[in-house]
Amino acid sequence: MDQRISLVTLAVGDPERAAAFYEALGWTRADSEPGIRVFDLLGQSLALYPRADLARDMGLTEAELGTGGMTLGYNTRTKPEVAQVLGRAEAAGARVLKPAHDVFWGGHIGYFADPDGHVWEVAFNPFSPLSPDGAFRWAGYPDTDDQPPQSG
């Protein structure tokens, strides 16, 4: 597992309202799609994603997710790596919340919680390959429908 975070996903009530806050700080969004807002940072991206959807994807209730809920994303270069990283995390003491599985948008993801409860999403996204140095850049949706790419 390389030493990087690909995506910081903040659970928010309203992605558009949340994005307006970060734009007011001077940031520029990478994309604007229904249901998700993304800002490219140094080496990774920040995503603003509906709280209810993030809770569903993680297999938690909104109450369990709580205020301030977020995930740290680790993107892999290949599909089999997702299960490998989850397996390694489990062997190291993590709890796998969702095993590696295909998702409707064409990706392959899973979730684990570290021993203190911090949740990581491990993802292979064939539409947003990592740069040679491992940096993640938002490449938009594979389709133009209204489905957010984090669902699973």
Instruction: Report if residue 87 touches a second copy, rule: CB under 8 A.
Output: no
* Residue 41 C-beta: closest distance to a second copy, Å: 5
* 3-state SS class at 48: strand
* Contact set for a second copy, span 11-30 (CB under 8 A): 11-13, 17-18, 21-22, 24-28
**Which DSSP letter does residue 19 get?**
H
Among 59, 61, 118, 126, binds a second copy (CB under 8 A): 118
* Contact set for a second copy, span 34-73 (CB under 8 A): 39-44, 46, 51, 66-70, 72
Q: DSSP letters along 66-120, please?
A: -TT-EEEEEE-SSSHHHHHHHHHHHHTT-EEEEEEEE-TTS-EEEEEE-TTS-EE
Q: What span, in angstroms and rounded, lies between the C-alpha atoms of 25 and 59?
A: 32
Size of the site for a second copy (CB under 8 A): 49
* Residue 139 C-beta: closest distance to a second copy, Å: 17
Map residues 93-112 to x or -, x wherever contact with a second copy holds by CB under 8 A.
xx------------------
CA distances from 88 to 36, 92, 93, 134, 146 (A): 30, 6, 9, 19, 34
* Residue 133 C-beta: closest distance to a second copy, Å: 7
